[in-house]
Amino acid sequence: MAVVVVIVTRSPGWEAFKAYFLDGQIYRNSFPEILNAFWLNVKLFCVAEMFILPAALFVAVLRSLPGPVFFPLRALAIVYADLFRGIPTILVISILGFGMPALGLSWMPSSQFFWAVVALVLVYTAYVSEVYRSGIESVHPSQEAAARSLGLSRGQSLRFVILPQAVRRVIPPLLNDFIGLQKDTALVGTLGVVEAFKQAQIDQSATFNGTPYLVAATLFVLITIPLARFTDWLIARDRKRHQAGRLA
């Protein structure tokens, strides 16, 4: 770290870099505007996550259905996950954000915020469903046997025995995807929606100075940290509950 600092600050272009990215006055000036735009990122994140969490669980459950009867559903889930994990997020956002309103169907929402959310939900549901699936598969089959042997139906076993264990195990990787989604909300700026990154771009072209990007970066980091600590807390609480055992 110290070495990096020395190399960077001794570099021939350091003064120019400092002037371009680290202008205190511009930082303070552009901060309120970018913060204001950043709420849109938070909103995108929250709204999208609300749909992603249940939808991904649904897709994961579809993929774990056994037997030849459910093959079409399983295949559908696999094709969906492969497709939306394969296409770069920025392309999905562009195709939906520009393409859908261009269809000119009057009953279809034309708000770009709406299509941005749809795009993020489609992409991240694919990722998160894989996380859930790995959790479901990590629960030993003997757990389902035990649940079914009590006369619980397949659905009840899933709901009361398999999923609670599966979800607990995947909270850390789930958080990774949360952070990924929070960052990818910046891609929505390509639609012309003024979120933090787009606002930073606007400020940059107004001042010919890159400091506004640093403002946006600060905000993204600031929201990631509490998210990370919150997950740590959840994991610790779960562990404590099991090890301490006796709760009144």
Partner 1 sequence: MSTAAALQVEGLHKAFGKLEVLRGIDLTVGEHEVVCLIGASGSGKSTLLRCVNLLEPIQAGRITVGGSEITARNVDVDAIRRRIGIVFQSFNLFPHMSVLENVTLGPRKALRRPRREAEAEAAALLQRFGLADKRTEFPDRLSGGQQQRVAIVRALAMQPELLLLDEVTSALDPELVAEVLDVIRELAAGGMTMVIATHEMGFARDIASRICFLEAGAILEEGPPQQIFSAPREERTQQFLQRIVDAGRL
Amino acid making up residue 64 = S
If the CB atoms of residues 83 and 145 are measured against partner 1, the closer one turns out to be 145
Cα separation, 200 vs 194, in Å, equals 9
Q: What backbone phi and psi angles, to 5 degrees, belong to 23?
A: -90, 110
Q: How many CB atoms lie within 10 A of CB 17?
A: 14
Among positions 75, 156, 222, 236, the unique one binding partner 1 when judged by CB under 8 A: 156
By CB under 8 A, residue 248 contacts partner 1: yes
Number of residues that bind partner 1 (CB under 8 A): 24
194 contacts: CB under 8 Å, gap ≥ 6: 37, 40, 202
**Residue 168 Cβ vs partner 1, minimum distance, rounded to whole Å:** 7
**Site stretch for partner 1 (CB under 8 A), options 19-27, 56-64, 102-110, 161-169:** 161-169
**Residue 198 Cβ vs partner 1, minimum distance, rounded to whole Å:** 44
Among positions 53, 55, 65, 152, the unique one binding partner 1 when judged by CB under 8 A: 152
By CB under 8 A, residue 68 contacts partner 1: no
**Residue 63 Cβ vs partner 1, minimum distance, rounded to whole Å:** 22
**Residue 242 Cβ vs partner 1, minimum distance, rounded to whole Å:** 5
89 within 8 A of 119, measured Cβ to Cβ: yes
Among positions 13, 66, 226, 245, the unique one binding partner 1 when judged by CB under 8 A: 245
Helices (H) and strands (E) in the chain, counts: 12, 0
**Residue 159 Cβ vs partner 1, minimum distance, rounded to whole Å:** 9
**Site stretch for partner 1 (CB under 8 A), options 122-130, 154-162, 185-193, 214-222:** 154-162
**Distances, alpha carbon 134 to alpha carbons 4, 61, 64, 120, in Å:** 38, 11, 10, 21
If the CB atoms of residues 148 and 183 are measured against partner 1, the closer one turns out to be 148
By CB under 8 A, residue 153 contacts partner 1: yes
Q: Which of 127, 43, 42 is nearest to 92 (CA)?
A: 127
By CB under 8 A, residue 151 contacts partner 1: yes
**Distances, alpha carbon 228 to alpha carbons 71, 102, 127, 175, in Å:** 38, 39, 19, 7
16 within 8 A of 177, measured Cβ to Cβ: no
Contact flags string 130-149 toward partner 1, x per CB under 8 A: ------------xx-xxxxx
Largest CA distance in the chain: 74
Among positions 64, 134, 165, 176, the unique one binding partner 1 when judged by CB under 8 A: 165
Summarize as ranges the residues that interact with partner 1 (CB under 8 A): 142-143, 145-153, 156, 160-161, 164-165, 168, 241-243, 245-248
